[in-house]
Copies of this chain bind each other. A is one copy, B any other.
Amino acid sequence: MNLKELAAELHLSQTTVSRALNGYPEVSEKTREIVLAAAQRFGYRPSPAARRLATGRAHALGVVFNAERNVLMDPLFVEYLAGVAETSAKQGFDILISPSTPSDEIVTFGRLARDGTVDVVILSAPQTVDARISLLSELKFPFVVHGRPPEPAGISYIDIDNFGAFQQATSFLIQLGHRRIMLINGEEHFTFAQDRSRGAAIAFAAAGLPNDMLDEHFMPMTAENAYRSARQALEREERPTAILCGSILVALGVLRAAAELGLEVPRDLSIIAHDDEMPAFPADQFHPQLTTTRSSIRAAGTRVAEMALARVAGQKPGTVAEVWPVQLIVRGSTAAAPERG
C-alpha cells in the first residue's frame, strides 16, 4: 500500500496524509488521528527510496570499512559497530558499510559524499595527516570523528584521553621503581599513538628521568607483532622490567613472549595494557589478571552515532569535542620492579 492508495482510502489528498504522518502543523488533530489510525491499520510504510529522492536525505549513516586496516586492528570493530548500530537504529537510521582498501579509501569517501547514499559519515582512527578529513571538509560534507583529529577546530569528535591514560600508567610504573620501560604502541601515523607516546614521555620528564629509558615501538597492534618485539627486547641483557601495551591483543603477545623466556609476570615483568573492553577478551580473565587503562569502545560507538545524527539534524560541526577520561585499573600484572641483578 502506498501513499496514494491510503489517501484515496481516506478521501483525502496525498498532501494531507503525508503531512499528517510527518507531524506537520497545518493539519487538524482530528484528521491526523484518523490518518495515523488508518496507516496503522493498513500497515502503511512509506517507501524509503521515494522519500529519499524527494527529500534528498538518505536517512542513513556511513561507516567506511577499511578491510585491511580493520582486520589488523580489531575485533574491536565489532564492538564499536555494535555501539553505533544501537543508537542509529533507535532513530531509524540505516548504517551503510562501504568497504575499501587503503588505496581507494579516499575515493570511497568521495563517492559517499557525492552520491547522497548517506547523510553523514563517521570516521575512525584519524591520522596525523588525514586526507579523508581534508576531502570531507572541502566537500562540506557532514562528518564526525571517532578519535582526535590532527586539527580539531571546527570538527565534532569524541576521543578518549589517550594522553592521560598513558601518562598515568607510565607514572605508576615509575613509582613502582621501573626504569627500563617498553612501550608497544600503534602505528606512528595515528593520532592516538602520538598522544600515547606524548603521555609516556611526559611521565618520564615529570619524574626527572631521561626519556631514552623509554623504549618505544610503533607497529600494527597484533598479538604476533607484539610477541616478536617483546621477545626481542626481553632477550636483551638490559631487558625492560615493564611493558606498556597498546591493546589487549598486544598484551597477549607479550605474555606469550614472557612465558617462553621463563619470565614470570608480575615478578620479573610488569604489564599494563590499554583495554577497550572487548567482551571476548576480558582483561580480568587473563592469568595474571591484567592491569589496564580502561575505556569502553562500545560506549564511544553509541556516542559517536549520536553526534552523527545530531549533525544531520543541523548541529554545527565542532559543537562536540569530548575527551573521555580513562581509568587506571590495577590488577595482578604489575608489581614493584625486580631488584637490580
* B116 and A47 contact, CB distance less than 8 A: yes
A71: which B residues are within 8 A, CB to CB? 78-79, 82, 279-280
Q: Say if the beta carbon of A100 comes within 8 Å of chain B.
A: yes
A114: which B residues are within 8 A, CB to CB? 45
The contact string, 1 if C-beta is below 8 Å from chain B, for chain A 74-92, is 1101110110011011000
A95: which B residues are within 8 A, CB to CB? 96-99
Chain copies in the assembly? 2
* B82 and A281 contact, CB distance less than 8 A: no
Known: A53-B53, A75-B78. A48 touches B85 (CB 8 A): no
Give the shortest distance, in Å, between A135 (CB) and chain B (any CB). Answer: 15
Q: Which among A6-14, A152-160, A167-175, A222-230 touches the partner chain?
A: A222-230
Given the complex of chains A and B, what is the CA–CA distance between A321 and B249 in angstroms? 36
Q: Say if the beta carbon of A4 comes within 8 Å of chain B.
A: no
* B79 and A279 contact, CB distance less than 8 A: no
Given the complex of chains A and B, what is the CA–CA distance between A47 and B49 in angstroms? 11
Q: How many residues of A contact B (CB 8 A)?
A: 55
* A70 and B65 contact, CB distance less than 8 A: no
Give the shortest distance, in Å, between A197 (CB) and chain B (any CB). Answer: 23
Q: Say if the beta carbon of A67 comes within 8 Å of chain B.
A: yes
Q: Say if the beta carbon of A282 comes within 8 Å of chain B.
A: yes
Q: Say if the beta carbon of A58 comes within 8 Å of chain B.
A: yes
Q: Say if the beta carbon of A27 comes within 8 Å of chain B.
A: no
Q: Say if the beta carbon of A212 comes within 8 Å of chain B.
A: no
Closest residue to A74 on the B side, CB-wise?
A: B78
A222: which B residues are within 8 A, CB to CB? 279-280
The contact string, 1 if C-beta is below 8 Å from chain B, for chain A 268-282, is 000000000011111
A253: which B residues are within 8 A, CB to CB? 285
* B48 and A116 contact, CB distance less than 8 A: yes
CB contacts under 8 Å to B, within A37-87, are: 45, 47-50, 52-53, 56, 58, 60, 65, 67, 70-72, 74-75, 77-79, 81-82, 85-86
A97: which B residues are within 8 A, CB to CB? 81, 85, 94-97
A279: which B residues are within 8 A, CB to CB? 71-72, 222
User: Which of the listed residues A72, A99, A227 has the most CB atoms from chain B within 10 Å of its own CB?
Assistant: A99
Binding site for B on A (CB under 8 A): 45, 47-50, 52-53, 56, 58, 60, 65, 67, 70-72, 74-75, 77-79, 81-82, 85-86, 88-89, 94-100, 111, 114-117, 222-224, 227, 249, 253, 256, 259-260, 278-282, 285-287
Given contacts A47-B116, A260-B287, 6 further A-B contacts (CB under 8 A): A48-B117, A60-B96, A65-B85, A94-B97, A95-B96, A259-B287
The contact sample of 11 A-B pairs, CB cut-off 8 A, is: A48-B116, A49-B49, A52-B53, A71-B78, A71-B79, A89-B98, A89-B99, A95-B98, A223-B280, A256-B287, A260-B287
